[in-house]
């Protein structure tokens, strides 16, 4: 029997417990959009999803550029049926793992994690693209469980087909990378230094070593040294491969 992603998602999300009323009052969509415009490495759109409601609270107009559908046509039922059939099991298993993960952490840490995984979505022209699905919780109470979701087209960066789930810790919290949804989550240390991440973000945005040197107020020799270190750490053959690996792993 064919899986109905929408109904299965509803079952998964129905298990979300909300014993306390908490809201991230520091969250600012306008600020986050500005940062996305600066740092994203592909076309993107964003959604505010409330799992307690059938429709999305907000869909950004960029969705039409990325997927080809008018934003007024998008609701959870429509959207969940865009997931590639081969990726549906990953998608549902990941969402189950997310529900379990957040049920095990203290309430005060709900806003300190970003969920990240990838899967394929069907465009209006019938073609599939691979999106990086990233989201954070912004409200968590009995009536509203809201997340800010960003989907970025990473078809040009990731060519392998296996979706990967990670929980990215913020404000000093540990990260859990390449999570095996059947096993215990194991935190890992970050591979890159803070400065290497800054250089890598700049490279992902198309800046040259000379431009990065000027932007970060460091010498071009230092920038080139960071690039060589990142190649060595990842055993990658090119900067583009380093960028692909970094986004797959959630390092930047």
For residue 215 the two structure tokens come to 């932007």
Cβ–Cβ < 8 Å for 122, 84: yes
**Local confidence band at 127 (pLDDT 50, 70, 90 cut-offs):** very high
250 has pLDDT over 80: no
Percent of the chain with pLDDT over 90: 44
The end-to-end CA distance of the chain, in Å, is: 39
Q: How far is residue 162's CA from residue 149's CA, in Å, rounded to a whole number?
A: 21
For the whole prediction, is pTM greater than 0.85? Answer: no
For the chain, domain boundaries? 5-188, 194-249
- Structure confidence at residue 156 as a pLDDT band (50, 70, 90): confident
d(CA 222, CA 233): 16
Give a three-class secondary structure readout of 178-242: CCCCCCCCCEECCCCCHHHHHHHHHHHCCCCHHHHHHHHCCCHHHHHHHHHHHHHHHCCCCHHHH
Options 3.40.50.10540, 1.10.10.10, 1.20.58.2030, 3.40.50.300; CATH for 194-249 is 1.10.10.10
41-79: pLDDT as tens digits: 789 999 999 988 878 999 999 999 999 999 998 988 899
Nearest-10 crossing angle of helices 220-234, 194-204? 100
d(CA 248, CA 168): 12
Q: Are strands 128-140 and 22-23 parallel, antiparallel or unpaired?
A: antiparallel
Q: What proportion of the chain, given as a percentage, has pLDDT over 70? A: 88
Backbone angles phi, psi at 115, to 5 degrees: -85, 135
**Mean pLDDT computed over every residue of the chain:** 86
CATH code that applies to domain 5-188? 3.30.450.20
Q: Who wins on pLDDT, 216 or 15? A: 216
Residue 111 · residue 136 · CB < 8 Å:
yes
Sorting pLDDT into bands at 50, 70 and 90, what band is 2?
low
What is the tens place of the pLDDT at every residue in 105-116? 888 898 899 999
Q: What tens digit of pLDDT does each residue of 130-155 get? A: 999 999 998 888 888 899 999 999 99
The two structure tokens encoding residue 23: 């809201």
């Amino acid at each position: 029997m064919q899986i109905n992603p929408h109904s299965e998602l509803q079952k998964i999300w129905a298990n979300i417990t909300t014993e306390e009323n908490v809201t991230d009052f520091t969250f600012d969509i306008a600020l986050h959009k500005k940062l996305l415009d600066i740092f994203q490495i592909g076309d993107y759109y964003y959604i505010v999803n409330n799992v307690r409601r059938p429709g999305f609270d907000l869909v950004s107009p960029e969705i039409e550029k990325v997927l080809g559908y008018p934003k007024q046509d998008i609701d959870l039922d429509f959207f969940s049926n865009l997931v590639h059939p081969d990726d549906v099991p990953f998608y549902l298993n990941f969402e189950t793992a997310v529900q379990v993960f957040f049920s095990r952490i203290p309430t005060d840490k709900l806003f300190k994690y970003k969920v990240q995984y990838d899967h394929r979505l069907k465009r209006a022209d019938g073609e599939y693209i691979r999106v990086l699905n990233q989201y954070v919780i912004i409200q968590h109470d009995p009536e509203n469980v809201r997340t800010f979701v960003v989907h970025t087209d990473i078809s040009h960066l990731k060519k392998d087909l296996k979706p990967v789930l990670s929980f990215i810790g913020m404000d000093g919290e540990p990260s859990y990378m390449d999570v095996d949804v059947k096993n215990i989550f194991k935190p890992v240390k970050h591979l890159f230094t803070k400065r290497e991440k800054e250089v890598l973000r700049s490279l992902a945005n198309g800046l040259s070593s000379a431009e990065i040197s000027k932007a970060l107020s460091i010498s071009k020799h230092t920038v080139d040294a960071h690039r060589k270190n990142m190649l060595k750490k990842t055993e990658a053959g090119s900067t583009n491969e380093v960028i692909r690996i970094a986004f797959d792993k959630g390092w930047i």
